[in-house]
Structures are given as C-alpha cells and as structure tokens.
Amino acid sequence: AISRFCSKDYVVFQPTQYSSTTRSVHLYHEPIKIRDAMAVSLTTEDKLEYKFYPCSSGQIQFRVRAPNDAHIALTTGPYETESMYEVFVGGWGNSKSVIRKNRSKPDVAEMDTPGILSADELRGFWIRWQGGNITVGKEGEQMPFLNYYDSAPIPINHFGVCTGWGASGEWLVEARCIGGHGGYPNPTAPSERYSGSASWCDASGGMIPPGAVEGGNDGEPLFVGRASHEGALLPGKVKPSHAVCYVAWGGGEHGKSEYQVLCGCNGRWIPVSGGQVPPNAVPGGETEDGEPLFIGRVHHEGTLTIGKVQASHNACYIPYGGAEMSFPEFEILVD
C-alpha cells in the first residue's frame, strides 16, 4: 500500500543529461525497476546537489532516512535558479526546519524540530503548494509544521532532493507525485477485490495511490475512500489537503488519517431517487451490524461530496461541515 511504501522491488531512475547555459543538470524520469508501482526509491550523497524530477501535481509525499539535512527544492525547471523555493528538513544538526526563497536569508518560515529525522528509520513528510501557499507536514498529520504564503508565487513544475552537511539519504517518493512516471501496473492491495480490476488500496496522511477514483470536488479533487469507525467500514471522501478520509457516522463527520482508496474502478455514476440501490452498485463497506454500504455522492453547497449509501434508510449520507447529512436523491457508483 502506498502509505507503507511496500517493500517488494524498487523504482530507480536513470539520470538523463540536459545541457544548459549555466550548468549540466540531471532530470530523473526513466524507470529501471518497479517497487510495487507505488514509490520511487533513490539515494542522495553528502553532496548538496539536487536530483530533479517533474511534478505531476501540487504536492509531493515522501519518506527519507537521513541523520540531518534532507533538502527539497521546488523549481520551475529541472535546475537551480535564483527564483526557487527550498525546504530544509532537519537542518542545523537535525534541530530546525525552514522554507527558503530565492536561495537567500532570512528564511521565510522556520520551526524548531529537534530529532525530526532519523539515521535508522524512514520518516514520512508531505509538501503541498496551491495559490502561493506552501505547507510542509509530517505523514499522518493534518496540520503543517511549516507554512508560507507568497503573494507573487514562483511557478513550480519540478522538485529536487539532496542531502548534505555530513548526511547521505535514502528516499521513497510517492510515484503519483512524479510527472511522466507512466508504465506502472494497476495497484493491488491485500484486501477484497470487486468486479473488474477495482481494488481498495491502503493509504494514510492524504496519500493518493495511482489509479485512484476521483469522485467529487470541494475546492480540490475528492477521491473515493473508506475507513473503519466504531466497528463499521464506511465509504467517504479523501481530501488530500486535509490528509484524511472523512466518513459520516452517528450524526457527525469524522476524519480518519488511515484509510483505503478505491483504485482501478472503471465504473460510472448514475442518479438514484428514493434510495433504490441498483444490482450492479459497487460495494463500499458495511455497517457495524453487517449491512452492506455502497458509494454515493451528492451536490451540496457548491461541492460534490462522496458518502455512504444505506439501502435500509433509502438515503445517501455525506460527511460535510462537521455533520452527517442525509439525502434521498443522489448519485451512486455502479460497474
């Protein structure tokens, strides 16, 4: 599963040389070996020389093993320029983390983070950028520990990673975050598979596996997920910027940092009235009493929100605004 970066085989990237008026750069984009189609593995020397990758979206999610100074560059092109952002995790002897703009001080954001990195184990992080806002957080945590708003943002099309100041590093980067990483097979998970190639893939902390089903929108794409809560397995909405899957239960909206994401499903959404569940509806979970639940969605207050369909209640329940909301008319996902 993507949240665990399954340790089967590795994806390593062969560097391609690009000439430049200022330097020769490496753009890593040719997969040599697959690591469960989920994560890209690489190493960085004690060199402070970035290895660059194209971005596929406004986020990167990764794990790194290093004693200190895991550096990430956010750039327009696959090289360092005067206009760029840098995130230093565990700098200054693994005591502080910062965001730096244009390779100059003072840093635009900083936080004391003693012991944030480890030489003995992989530690997970995410970096997101949207509308000039850059946030940095830990895997499994919703709140960032670094945040910076740039009123004149630099376009970000690539990211780079490196280590230095006495540290080398081992990295695992979620493959979905890397542009042009095609050629990977559909993900699988050690859980029940439904019709066709659909499967539920374990994830956490806002991570979205390749092939995930996009089912809604609330200022950003929402993905079809599910999570366990109070003995039930509940379909819901994964909101990447919040790093959780939201599910509806007991009148409330509950954010779950560990969840599953529906992947590889070529289904379609059809309108339903009166809670009638079609025979080819895609199963999404079950209540604490064992009643099957299905995957629905509702247009509500300018959003398209994913929730659970419970046939015995003739309704689709969505998690929204902290509450569980019921709708007799909705769309349901079918094969």
Tell whether 163 and 122 lie within a shared domain.
yes
* Same structural domain, 255 and 216: yes
Is the domain of 170 the same as that of 204?
A: no
- State residue 109's pLDDT score: 98
Q: Are residues 114 and 171 in the same domain?
A: yes
Does residue 132 surpass a pLDDT of 70? yes
Residue 111 and residue 54 share a domain: yes
Range of the domain at 136: 2-177
CA dihedral 33, 39, 45, 51 (to 10 degrees): 90
Specify the higher pLDDT residue, 215 or 200: 215
Is 184 within a domain?
no
Q: Looking at residues 56-66, what average pLDDT do you find?
A: 88
Is residue 193 domain-resident?
A: no
> The dihedral of CA 52, 53, 59, 63: what is its sign?
negative
Residue 187 lies in a domain: no
Does residue 162 sit in the same domain as residue 217?
no
Domain count, the chain: 2
Higher-scoring residue by pLDDT: 312, 188:
312
How far is CA 235 from each of CA 67, 215, 285, rounded to the nearest angstrom? 39, 12, 6
- 57: CATH: 2.60.120.200
Q: Specify if 182 maps to a domain.
A: no
Cβ(306)–Cβ(239) below 8 Å: no
pTM of structure: 0.49
Same domain, 6 and 122: yes
Q: Is residue 183 part of a domain?
A: no
Residue 3: pLDDT band by 50, 70, 90 thresholds? very low
Whether 163 and 213 map to the same domain: the answer is no
Q: Verify that 245 and 134 share a domain, yes or no.
A: no
Supply the pLDDT for residue 96: 98
- Residues 62-89 have pLDDT tens digits of 999 999 999 999 999 888 988 999 999 9
Assigned domain for 189 exists:
no
The predicted structure's pLDDT at residue 13: 35
Q: What is the mean pLDDT of the chain?
A: 82
Q: Provide the pLDDT confidence category of residue 326 given band limits of 50, 70 and 90.
A: very high
Q: Are residues 154 and 228 in the same domain?
A: no
pLDDT at 69: 98
Q: What is the mean pLDDT of residues 254-267?
A: 90
Residue 169 near residue 160 (C-beta atoms within 8 A): no
